[in-house]
C-alpha cells in the first residue's frame, strides 16, 4: 500500500527529494548548530517536556508551567526554525515551494529534511536545543496578563505521550511520572487547561465533540490499512489550549505593533454565513419532527448561538446517533479558515486576531512568523520591505495551497481505505452488513458514518432507486428525511442507524454501489 500512497503524492506533484544545495546547508548546520550562541538566554534549568502522539518525531513544542503568586506562568518553547531556515537560504526556498509537511497513513513527506525536522531543530529529550519561548503570565482565572518572548537555549527532560500523561492524571500514584521533577508542571498544565476551557465556554466558542480516527499502514499479514479510533483525551485539549493561547498572543503582539517594517501573516476564520445558519435551523427542526423529538431541545432557534445549541443536546442513550448527526451538520455550516495578510477574527477559536506560530517545522508560515517576531523583538534585522512583502504573498499562497493538497491527500487516502475494506465483500455470497449513522442527505446521496471503522461512505440515490425497482426518491422535512416519492414510505432520516451492504463496484465511475436499510 505504500506504493499506492507514493503514487498519490506523485499525482499531486508533491516534492519528495531535497537537492544538493539544501543538503549542503543541512551539513553546515550539523557541523555548527548554534546551540552555544551567546545571545541565547539559558533556560536549560527549567524542566520542559514535550507531549505528543507516540509516533511523533518532529517535536515543535515543549512546555513548562509554574505557579505565580496569584496565578500561573506558562513557558511554551517553539523550535527555532527561523535560525535554521533563513529567508535567503535554499532551505527556505524549498520550504516555500512545499508549504507544509504532508501526512499519509504510516508515513510523512517533511517540509524540512529529517536531519533538521527530527534532529537538530526538533525539541528532542536530553539534548540542548534552540527555541523561541513564549512566557505568558496568567491570573487565577487563566486570563492573560502579560506575554514576553525570549530566544533561548532549552533542554527537554522527556518526550511524553498524551496517553502517558492522561494515565498520570487518572491514577497519579500508579504512574512513574509522579516521581519526576516535572510532575508539578503537568499538574499545573491541567489546572491552566481547565481554566482556559472554561474561558472559551464563557466566550461562547463552539467546541465540537470529536472522536479521533487514525489510519495506519497494516503489517504484512494485513496487507493494507489499519483504522484506529480513540476518544479525545483531556490532556490533548489542555495542550491544545496552550497552543491556542500562544498563537493568539503572537498574533496580538504583531497586530498591535503597527511596525511598518513587519509583514505578519494571520489565520482568519469568518463566522458562519447567516444563510447557512438559516438552513441549519430548518434542518434541525426537520430532524426533530422526523424522530419525534422536542424541538425546544433539538432545533436551533434564531436567538440561540451555535455553541449554546450544541451544549444542550443530550449525549449518549437512545438519541446518541441523532446528536452526532446534528453536530456534524453544525460543523458543515463553518466557513473554511485561511491564511491572510490582514488581521481578522478567527471564529473557530474566538480570537480577534490569531497567527500560527506553533508549527514552525511543519508550516512555512511558522518559519516566516518566527522571523517577523524576532524582528519585532529587535533580535533580527528586518529585511527589505519590498522583498518581504513579495515573499509574504508567496508564502500565503503556498500555505493555502498546501492545505488544499492535504485535504486531497485525505480524500484519496480514504478512498484507498474503503477499497481495502469493501473489496473482500465482493467474494462473499452473503454480503456483510455494516452499521452506521446517517449524517446527512442531499439531492444525490446519503452520507453515512460507519460505526467501525469510523469512516464516511456515500450511498447514491440513483443506486438506491435501481435496487428498489426504479422508484422515485424524495427529500422531506427540510432535508432530514428520505422517502419513496409514490408511496411516501420512509427510507431513512438524518440520525438513523442504518445497515450498509456492498452490491458492486462501478469501475467506470470509480465508486462503490451500496445498499442501505434502516437498522
Cell of 505: 463496484
Element (H, E) at 310: helix 306-312
pLDDT for position 368: 97
Q: Is 251 exposed, middle or buried (CB count within 10 Å of its CB: 0-12, 13-18, 19+)?
A: buried
pLDDT for position 221: 41
Distance between CA 430 and CA 323 in Å, rounded? 32
Distance between CA 430 and CA 288 in Å, rounded? 35
| Between 307 and 225, the higher pLDDT residue | 307
Q: Is the pLDDT of residue 213 over 60?
A: no
Distance between CA 254 and CA 147 in Å, rounded? 12
Give the model's confidence band at 262: pLDDT under 50 very low, under 70 low, under 90 confident, else very high: very high
pLDDT for position 286: 97
Give the model's confidence band at 93: pLDDT under 50 very low, under 70 low, under 90 confident, else very high: very high
DSSP for 480-497 reads: TEEEETTT--EEEETT-E
- What share of the chain has pLDDT > 70, as a percent? 96
On whether the CB atoms of residues 188 and 234 are closer than 8 A, the answer is no
Q: Which domains does the chain have, with CATH numbers?
A: 2-268+352-417 (no CATH), 272-334+430-519 (2.40.50.140)
Q: pLDDT digits over 96-134, tens only? A: 999 999 999 888 999 999 999 999 999 999 999 999 999
* CB-CB neighbours of 260 under 10 Å: 8
| Between 275 and 106, the higher pLDDT residue | 275
As a whole number, the mean pLDDT across the chain is 93
pTM: 0.90
pLDDT for position 313: 94
* CB-based contacts of 88, cutoff 8 Å, min separation 6: none
Element (H, E) at 322: helix 320-332
Distance of CA 210 to CAs 196, 324, 325, Å?
A: 19, 9, 12
Mean pLDDT throughout 189-202? 95
Cell of 439: 449524517
On whether the CB atoms of residues 485 and 498 are closer than 8 A, the answer is no
Dihedral sign, CA of 346, 350, 352, 358?
Answer: negative
Q: Is the pLDDT of residue 407 over 90?
A: yes
The angle, 0 to 180 degrees and rounded to 10, between the axes of the packed helices 385-422 and 2-11 is 140
| Between 469 and 352, the higher pLDDT residue | 352
Give the model's confidence band at 218: pLDDT under 50 very low, under 70 low, under 90 confident, else very high: low
Query: Residue holding cell 430532524?
Result: 287
Give the model's confidence band at 228: pLDDT under 50 very low, under 70 low, under 90 confident, else very high: low
Mean pLDDT throughout 20-39? 96
pLDDT for position 106: 84
Q: Is the pLDDT of residue 59 over 80?
A: yes
pLDDT for position 453: 86
pLDDT for position 222: 44
Mean pLDDT throughout 32-43? 96
Poorest-confidence range of 76-90, 97-111, 196-210, 405-419?
196-210
Phi then psi dihedrals of residue 134, to 5 deg: -85, 130
Cα–Cα nearest to 162, from 73, 237, 75, 245: 237
Alpha helices for 12-151 (secondary structure H):
20-31, 81-84, 90-98, 114-115
- Collapsing DSSP to helix, strand or coil, 510 comes out as coil
Q: Is the pLDDT of residue 226 over 60?
A: no
- Collapsing DSSP to helix, strand or coil, 430 comes out as coil
Number of residues written out for the chain: 519
Give the model's confidence band at 204: pLDDT under 50 very low, under 70 low, under 90 confident, else very high: confident
Distance of CA 187 to CAs 61, 155, 239, Å?
A: 18, 20, 12
Separation of first and last alpha carbons in the chain: 33
HEC profile of 143-193: CEEEEEEEEEEEEECCEEEHHHHHHHHHCHHHCHHHHCCCHHHHHHHHHHH
Cα–Cα nearest to 310, from 182, 159, 206: 206
Q: Is the pLDDT of residue 396 over 80?
A: yes
Q: pLDDT digits over 433-485, tens only? A: 999 999 999 999 999 999 988 889 999 999 999 998 888 889 999 999 999 98
Q: Is the pLDDT of residue 220 over 50?
A: no
Alpha helices for 359-449 (secondary structure H):
364-376, 385-422
Q: pLDDT digits over 143-163, tens only? A: 999 999 999 999 999 999 999
- What share of the chain has pLDDT > 90, as a percent? 85
pLDDT for position 341: 95
Amino acid at each position: 500500500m505504500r506504493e499506492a500512497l507514493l503514487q498519490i503524492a506523485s499525482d499531486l506533484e508533491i516534492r519528495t527529494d531535497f537537492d544538493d544545495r539544501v543538503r549542503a546547508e543541512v551539513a553546515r548546520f550539523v557541523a555548527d548548530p548554534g546551540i552555544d550562541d551567546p545571545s541565547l538566554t539559558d533556560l536549560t534549568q527549567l524542566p520542559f517536556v514535550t507531549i505528543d502522539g507516540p509516533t511523533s518525531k518532529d517535536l515543535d513544542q515543549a512546555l513548562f508551567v509554574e505557579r505565580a503568586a496569584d496565578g500561573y506562568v506558562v513557558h511554551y518553547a517553539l523550535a527555532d526554525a527561523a535560525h535554521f531556515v533563513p529567508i535567503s537560504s535554499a532551505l527556505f526556498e524549498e520550504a516555500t515551494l512545499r508549504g507544509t509537511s504532508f501526512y499519509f497513513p504510516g508515513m510523512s513527506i517533511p517540509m524540512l529534511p529529517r536531519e533538521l525536522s527530527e534532529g537538530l531543530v526538533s525539541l528532542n529529550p536530553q539534548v540542548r536545543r534552540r527555541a523561541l519561548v513564549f512566557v505568558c503570565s496568567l491570573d487565577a482565572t487563566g486570563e492573560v496578563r502579560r506575554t514576553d518572548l525570549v530566544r533561548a537555549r532549552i533542554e527537554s527532560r522527556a518526550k511524553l505521550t498524551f496517553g502517558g500523561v492522561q494515565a498520570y492524571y487518572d491514577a497519579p500514584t500508579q504512574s512513574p511520572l509522579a516521581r519526576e521533577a516535572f510532575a508539578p508542571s503537568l499538574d499545573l498544565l491541567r489546572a491552566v487547561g481547565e481554566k482556559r476551557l472554561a474561558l472559551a465556554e464563557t466566550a461562547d466558542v463552539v467546541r465540537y465533540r470529536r472522536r479521533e480516527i487514525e489510519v495506519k499502514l497494516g503489517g504484512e499479514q494485513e496487507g493494507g490499512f489499519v483504522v484506529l479510533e480513540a476518544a479525545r483525551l483531556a490532556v490533548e485539549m489542555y495542550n491544545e489550549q496552550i497552543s491556542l493561547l500562544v498563537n493568539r498572543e503572537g498574533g496580538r503582539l504583531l497586530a498591535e505593533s503597527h511596525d511598518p517594517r513587519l509583514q505578519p501573516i494571520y489565520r482568519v476564520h469568518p463566522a458562519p454565513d447567516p444563510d447557512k445558519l438559516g438552513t441549519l435551523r430548518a434542518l434541525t427542526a426537520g430532524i426533530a419532527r422526523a424522530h419525534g423529538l422536542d424541538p425546544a431541545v433539538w432545533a436551533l432557534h434564531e436567538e440561540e448561538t451555535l455553541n449554546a445549541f450544541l451544549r444542550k443536546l443530550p449525549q449518549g442513550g437512545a438519541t446518541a446517533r441523532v446528536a452526532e448527526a446534528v453536530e456534524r451538520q453544525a460543523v458543515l455550516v463553518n466557513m473554511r479558515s485561511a491564511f491572510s495578510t490582514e488581521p481578522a477574527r478567527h471564529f473557530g477559536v474566538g480570537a480577534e486576531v490569531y497567527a500560527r506560530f506553533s508549527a514552525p517545522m511543519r508550516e512555512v508560515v511558522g518559519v516566516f512568523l518566527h522571523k517577523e517576531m524576532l524582528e519585532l523583538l529587535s533580535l533580527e534585522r528586518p529585511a527589505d520591505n519590498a522583498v518581504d512583502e513579495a515573499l509574504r504573498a508567496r508564502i500565503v499562497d503556498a500555505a493555502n495551497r498546501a492545505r488544499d493538497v492535504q485535504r486531497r491527500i485525505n480524500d484519496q487516502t480514504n478512498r484507498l481505505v474503503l477499497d481495502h475494506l469493501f473489496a473482500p465483500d465482493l467474494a462473499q455470497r452473503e454480503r456483510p452488513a455494516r452499521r452506521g449513522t446517517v449524517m446527512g442527505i442531499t439531492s444525490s446521496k446519503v452520507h453515512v458514518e460507519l460505526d467501525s471503522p469510523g469512516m464516511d461512505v456515500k450511498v447514491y440515490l440513483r443506486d438506491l432507486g435501481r435496487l428498489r425497482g426504479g422508484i422515485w426518491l424524495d427529500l422531506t422535512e427540510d432535508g432530514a428525511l428520505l422517502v419513496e416519492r409514490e408511496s411516501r414510505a420512509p427510507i431513512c432520516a438524518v440520525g438513523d442507524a442504518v445497515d450498509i451492504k456492498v452490491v458492486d463496484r462501478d469501475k467506470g465511475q470509480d465508486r462503490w454501489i451500496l445498499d442501505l436499510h434502516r437498522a
